[in-house]
Amino acid sequence: MAGGEALIPRYLKGLVVAGLLAVAVMAYPLWFQFFGAQAYASIPWPASEFPADLASFTAFPTDSLAGRIQIPNLRLRHNVTEENTFFGLPLVVLTVVLAIWLYRRHRALRAVGFTAVFFALLSLGVELRINGNHTGIPGPYELFSALPCSDTRFPPDSPWYCCRWSR
């Protein structure tokens, strides 16, 4: 153990050097990102006005093979680029079956499952919509809408976090 204790000052010195180097290299890019010519503080429209529809989770994306043969339902999205929650019924069923099957086997997969459900619920916005109809039921995003930076991200972008966590 005596040899390990001698390495601590050397490790701390290297950590300080690496930290100073990182600050020196990243100072200008970070300044430009947050304070430069094209930086912005918020988006010009309320992000809460663009929630995901509950029925969109089982719908297929327009540009997928199955999306070409299903009846187009334009009420589930604002435009074609906002199909973040369009996973399709087979993928939703497979995900639920695998989550139930693997629930007891791995703690990490359990955490990923809870995270995916959390962000999927968050994507529903401040009011639950089903097939384009307002239900009047408050959505989970309402709880977080007063937090800082919540006005700079759209609720339908939340399912992307589900996909990222699963990697």
pLDDT exceeds 70 at position 62 = yes
Give the residue carrying structure tokens 């503080």: 41
Query: What's the pTM value of the predicted model, to 2 decimals?
Result: 0.64
Residue 125: predicted pLDDT: 82
- The larger pLDDT score, comparing residue 162 to residue 4, is at 4
Q: Tokens standing for 62? A: 């327009």
pLDDT, the chain, mean: 79
**C-alpha angle 114/117/123, rounded to 5°?**
140
**C-alpha angle 59/60/61, rounded to 5°?**
125
Residue 56 and residue 87: Cα distance in Å, rounded? 8
Parallel/antiparallel/unpaired status of strands 127-130 and 133-138: antiparallel
State the Cα torsion 62-65-69-75 to the nearest 10°.
Answer: -20
Q: Please name the helix (run of DSSP H) or strand (run of DSSP E) that holds residue 135, with its range, or none.
A: strand 133-138
Residue 86: predicted pLDDT: 83
Most confident of 6-20, 34-48, 152-166: 6-20
Kindly give, in sequence order, each residue whose CB lies less than 8 Å from that of residue 15, ignoring residues fewer than 6 positions away: none
Residue 85: predicted pLDDT: 81
pLDDT in tens, 76-112: 776 666 777 888 889 899 988 988 888 888 888 888 8
Residue 131: predicted pLDDT: 85
